[in-house]
Amino acid sequence: MPTETVIAIQGLTNRFGKTIVHENLSLDVRRGEVLGVVGASGSGKSVLLRSIVGLMTPSAGQITLLGTDVLGASAADRAAAGARTGVMFQDGALFSALTVRENVEAPMRERLKVDPVTRRALADLRIAMVGLPATAGDLYPAALSGGMRKRAGLARALSLDPEILFLDEPTAGLDPISASAFDTLLISLRDALGLTVFLVTHDLDTLQATCDRIAVLADRRVLVTGTMAEMRDVADPWVHAYFHGPRAHAALAAAEG
């Protein structure tokens, strides 16, 4: 049985002045998979994510998110599709003046009609789901370690019980132990909640540990998609260097060991 496509991108073009970041880019994301998006600096990984979630408007192309034409739909339909997704930006992107609990409650305040007691209980559940202690709910972002901020950002992304989770460099800046723990958490949440995950990363360990498929951005488009093993057979010079370098060998050895 064919797997449902929950994100379909066709002919996407993104320009900033005279600079063309994407040109005629196409990509499908399947329900239930973890798709890792990689590419050289400046290849437009985060720009692609922001285009899908509606934070920027492409110059051309079509994006279908959970059956909704993101670029052509009404504001109400776009908002309804957006409510079925969660986004975690780099370093969590938490509101510094709000506690962790208040950060997690923020999307609920906007989207859900629930009383404060229920909203607090739902936020505390999300905080527990990402492995943070109950006491973290009362802390402000400045009091958190880097790993805790990432988990708090993930809790907020899960606030509305999304179908699709967008993660932008979730393990960047973490020590290897914390990064590995985040990878394990991500897979457990994907399996428990039935999530689809769109993961922008440069972390080869994360790619090896979490991703069902990988999409490589190069030359303004998706150059190739496939599994980690399939990436090692791609002849393109950048792809070969990326997936055959010392860090790639270390990630593969760790996975096999």
DSSP letter string over 44-78? -HHHHHHHHTTSS--SEEEEEETTEETTTS-HHHH
Least Cα distance to 222 among 19, 25, 41 occurs for 25
Report DSSP letters for 125-140, one per residue. HHHHHTT--GGGGG--
Residue 34: Cβ within 10 Å count: 24
pTM: 0.93
* Type of residue found at 150: K
Least Cα distance to 108 among 98, 100, 99, 118 occurs for 118
The predicted structure's pLDDT at residue 93: 80
The predicted structure's pLDDT at residue 254: 56
Tally: H helices and E strands in the chain = 10, 10
Least Cα distance to 109 among 125, 92, 122 occurs for 122
Least Cα distance to 195 among 238, 163, 230, 242 occurs for 163
Least Cα distance to 219 among 24, 15, 7, 48 occurs for 24
The predicted structure's pLDDT at residue 169: 93
Kind of pairing, strands 5-16 and 19-30? antiparallel
Residue 52: Cβ within 10 Å count: 24
The predicted structure's pLDDT at residue 39: 94
CA–CA separation, 140 and 102 (whole Å): 9
Question: Could you give all domains of the chain from N- to C-terminal order, each with its CATH number?
Answer: 5-84+162-256 (3.40.50.300), 94-158 (no CATH)
The predicted structure's pLDDT at residue 1: 43
Report DSSP letters for 88-103, one per residue. E-GGG---TTS-HHHH
- Cα 245 to Cα 41, 176, 196, 252: the distances in Å are 17, 18, 29, 11
On whether the CB atoms of residues 15 and 21 are closer than 8 A, the answer is yes
Q: How far from each other are the two terminal CA atoms of the chain, in whole angstroms?
A: 34
- Report residues of the chain scoring pLDDT below 70: 1-2, 91-92, 246-257
The predicted structure's pLDDT at residue 244: 85
